[in-house]
Amino acid sequence: MKSVRVPAYAKVNLCLDVLGRRADGYHELRTIFQTITLHDTLELEANRAGRIDLRIIGNPALAGGPGRDNLVHRALDKLRRELRLRQGVRAVLTKRIPVGRGLGGGSSDAAAALIGLLRLTGKRIEASHLAEIASGLGADVPFFLHGGRALGIGRGDETYPLPDVPRRTLLVVSPRDIAVPTPDAYHWLAQRLTKRPDTPKLWRFCSLCWSPQGGALSNDFEAAVFPRYSRLAAIKRELLRQGAAGASLAGSGSAVFGIFQNPAKARRAARAFPKDQVFVCSTVSRADYRRKLGGPDFV
């Protein structure tokens, strides 16, 4: 039986501005996504049973379980129907990205499922239609079809590639005992939002997008999340004290990451967080992402 193996890379938000609530109930975002080497692995194999069999290695409970609500299962089912495939798929998902930490693991898994199924079957689909399918699965999923460094607007589902910056080393700190529900983070932030986008803020954001150095880190969720979880603010302070050039909350949390000059300095800094999960990783360029996933050739 033919099989494929696809990495599902995590992401951080180098900049995340929440501009306000939209008429459709979602929030208007401006963000800079960046994929990093921390990743899950998805293996797909065709089967003749005509159904989707998903097994999760790691912690199935934290990953949402292997049932129909799992994003990998939903992505495979949706694309199978779209391609009118009769054959089934056996999927094995090995989880390494901590769940519920703002690192986009579930969304990346879903994108890997879409790309993997196209590779497995040799089918092609219009890029715009694949992005539409991805958006229906989750706001971050379209970004993970291409990875690298990208501008995200709207709900974050409308993405545009940005020039890659030089490879950078990151230390990601994931507190074992803190999870920040995204709806709660938006609720806490709501009272800080204005009804109209902040024009100076938009100009500042645009300058960060196109800066050759990649711009400074910023995340609007910190103002709402840190007062409620002082431990996360303390992690950011410690990362900076340990020599990080910059540090920020990942998405709406609860992971916090710092950017270091090299892996050796990041590994030394990791010793300051003995009670947390820590990951020394680096940024993944758009070209490397394309090469390792193999997706765009099938779009």
**Could you tell me the sign of the dihedral formed by the alpha carbons of 93, 97, 101, 104, in that order?**
negative
Looking at the DSSP assignment, which residues form a beta bridge with residue 170?
A: 259, 281
Catalytic residue among 40, 140, 220, 276: 140
Report how far residue 72's alpha carbon sits from residue 43's, in angstroms, rounded to the nearest whole number. Answer: 11
Verify whether residue 140 is a known catalytic residue. yes
Please give the C-alpha separations between residue 4 and each of 36, 114, 120, 276, 292, in angstroms, as whole numbers: 21, 12, 6, 33, 12
Residue type (1 letter), 73: H
**Cα angle value 249/250/254 (rounded, 5°):** 75
Verify whether residue 177 is a known catalytic residue. no
Q: CA 294, 295, 297, 298: dihedral to nearest 10 degrees?
A: 130
Gyration radius of the chain over CA positions: 19
* CA 154 remoteness from chain centre: 16
Residues designated catalytic: 11, 140
